[in-house]
Amino acid sequence: MAILVTGGAGYIGSHTVVQLIDSGFDVIIIDNFINSTPEVLNRIHTITSKKIKCYNIDLLEKDKLKKVFSENNIEAVIHFAGLKAVGESVKRPLYYYHNNITSTLVLCEMMKEYNVKKLVFSSSATVYGSTENVPLKENSPLGATNPYGWTKLMLEQIFSDLHTSDSEWSIALLRYFNPVGAHESGLIGEDPSGVPNNLTPYITQVAVGKLSKVHVFGNDYDTEDGTGVRDYIHVADLANGHLKALDKVLTNPGINAYNLGAGKGYSVLAIIKTFEKVSGINIPYEITGRRPGDIAVSYADPTKARQELGWVAERTLEDMLRDSWNWQVKNKNGYNKS
């Protein structure tokens, strides 16, 4: 029996695939490399010494997806594949709704046809919308502020309806907070295309000399130093959360949402300072205006994941930033381009 990982060549998917292989699972990847590169597969091979079966297909291609299900004995699916750039989703909503939602409908139809009813889904803390009543619990009010966020919220609803229609489905909705860091080897990591939108890849690209300074989006929030506070989580801890959730869906039917966060918030300036400490590099920054759509504070209450999955984030902020830096130094221009 194999675990099908959609989007397994992506940032979080690749780290999860490594841990699945390390834990003895047979893994099959589906990825169309729209936001990743086949080089990731070579890197996973180097880390694990295992060659992974990967189908280069778009999840929207039903016939090709059917072939994957007919050729393999799939036990469960971990579904990472999706587009994730908030700004792009505002400009191209139909593209986002089609890629993220239609593809998931096609995947679920196929799972149903082949009686594979166990699923771990990449949701996001973005489903808490502009709620700032921290710490965020799984039953905090939900909402979305952009098409990307709506795709996650709508998919959570679709999965809930699916489970209502057939209680054999077993689904974990994993609401990630802010994933950072990389595999300790520095062989796999986050490789954003173009100028990074997220804070830590922006900082590492300043440190490596590709960008001149960090723009800190606002210092007039109601936080300790006025800059935005987020719950950063090491991608290896996040990957481990998927293995725990997989164990749960393999053994218990039901649908459950889990916050995967460290449960602690750090400000933008704290991230810059800690990065300077672990890298020994000075990071020039400038305070600019707030980024539209940003909220002041977001961090998780991860109690449910601890109690029901036996999962906690173990790595520190220093670990996250040291590993992000190690990845960036070893791959100045990301995969394929060094």
Type and span of the H or E element at 49: none
Bridge-partner residues for 173, per DSSP? 121, 257
41 within 8 A of 16, measured Cβ to Cβ: no
Binding mask 163-202 toward ligand NAD (x if CB under 6 A, else -) reads: -------------x--x-----------------------
Question: Does position 202 bind ligand UD1 by CB under 6 A?
Answer: yes
335 is a catalytic site residue: no
Q: Mark residue 310 as left, alpha or beta (left: phi above 0; alpha: psi -120 to 50; beta: remaining).
A: left
Angle between helices 199-207 and 317-330 (to 10 degrees): 50
Question: Does position 241 bind ligand NAD by CB under 6 A?
Answer: no
- Residue 4's nearest CA partner among 61, 63, 42, 52 is 52
Catalytic entry in 55, 96, 128, 148: 148
- Residue 196's nearest CA partner among 337, 338, 33, 87 is 87
| Shortest separation between residue 218's beta carbon and ligand NAD, angstroms | 20
Judged by beta carbon, residue 190 or residue 248, the one nearer ligand NAD is: 190
Binding mask 9-28 toward ligand NAD (x if CB under 6 A, else -) reads: xxxxx---------------
Stretch that binds ligand UD1, among 60-68, 112-120, 289-297, 307-315 (CB under 6 A): 289-297
Neighbours of 166 (CB within 10 A): 10
Cβ neighbours of residue 293 closer than 8 Å, sequence gap 6 or more: 86, 145, 146
Question: Does position 284 bind ligand UD1 by CB under 6 A?
Answer: no
Judged by beta carbon, residue 50 or residue 91, the one nearer ligand UD1 is: 91
Question: Does position 270 bind ligand UD1 by CB under 6 A?
Answer: no
- Residue 207's nearest CA partner among 279, 99, 133, 155 is 279
Question: Does position 7 bind ligand NAD by CB under 6 A?
Answer: yes
Q: Which of 5, 17, 36, 107 binds ligand NAD (CB under 6 A)?
A: 36
- Which residues in this chain contact ligand NAD in the complex, by CB under 6 A? 7, 9-13, 30-36, 58-60, 80-84, 99, 103, 122, 124, 176, 179
Catalytic residues: 148
